[in-house]
Amino acid sequence: MTYLDAIILDTETTTNKDTPERPLEVIELAWLPLTSAETPAFHRRYKPTMPPTFGATAVHHILYSELEECLPSEFAIRDVPPAEYWIGHNIDFDWRALGSPPNVKRICTLALSRRLWPECDSHTLSAMMYFTAGCTPQTRERLRSAHAATDDCEFVLALLQPIMAATKCRELDGLYELSEEARIPRTMTFGKFAGQPVSAVDRGYASWYARQPDPDPFVLMAFRREGLIR
């Protein structure tokens, strides 16, 4: 495969949560090159070892029966070209679904949206499309295909334009640095302190969270900045 500077990538999976009992399996993969006009966009579906959960099916509407003739899910990572940057909305989810390959720099448009526009009541990809493109019939029609991997890649590409305009950043390395900083939350998005500043979290809760099996490393960074944990 041709090495690419950056790809916009999206997956649809068998479950919305990665657990030991139900690990993530990719059932649809799409990516498009950010900087190479010669490389075509990619889309393919895969057959998982277990049917998608009802919750996941309600998001992507892909039926298990539609995947019978597809390649096994384990083949999905082989269809991702080597690239320095992966860009996506909550890209860490897609990265984990594809086996957490090392040495991939991930630019998260969800983290950047939360940092740039904290006034928004929702930062889902569809919500950000309405926010940046306008609540118009045209935007609504465009979003009817939301949660199809190919269309979500196109939405991320569209969202990148206002993100770059707001940050005045046109280079991938600079955007990556901004994304990494934006990943460190200023406001809690879960738990009993959801909606409150990280500084409002007490040491007991921070210590409890740090002892969990798979804590978010960026939340731990936020706690350390506030002196809540070591």
Do 42 and 137 lie in one domain? The reply is: yes
Do 83 and 114 lie in one domain? The reply is: yes
230 lies in a domain?
Answer: no
Q: Is the pLDDT of residue 152 over 90?
A: yes
Do 69 and 164 lie in one domain? The reply is: yes
Do 111 and 196 lie in one domain? The reply is: no
Do 98 and 202 lie in one domain? The reply is: no
pLDDT of residue 26: 98
Nearest to 192 by CA among 179, 175, 204, 180: 204
**pTM for the structure as a whole:** 0.91
Q: What is the pLDDT of residues 56-106, one digit of tens each?
A: 999 999 999 999 999 999 999 999 999 999 999 999 999 999 999 999 999
Question: How many angstroms separate the CA atoms of 187 and 14, rounded?
Answer: 30
Q: What is the mean pLDDT of the chain?
A: 94
pLDDT of residue 1: 58
Do 52 and 77 lie in one domain? The reply is: yes
CATH number at residue 21: 3.30.420.10
Q: What is the pLDDT of residues 19-58, one digit of tens each?
A: 888 889 999 999 999 987 778 999 999 999 999 999 999 9
- Left if phi > 0, otherwise alpha if psi is -120 to 50, otherwise beta: which for 162? alpha
Do 31 and 102 lie in one domain? The reply is: yes
Look up the domain containing 214 and give its range: 191-225
pLDDT of residue 35: 80
209 lies in a domain?
Answer: yes
Do 138 and 56 lie in one domain? The reply is: yes
How much of the chain is helix, strand and coil, in % rounded to 5? 45, 15, 40
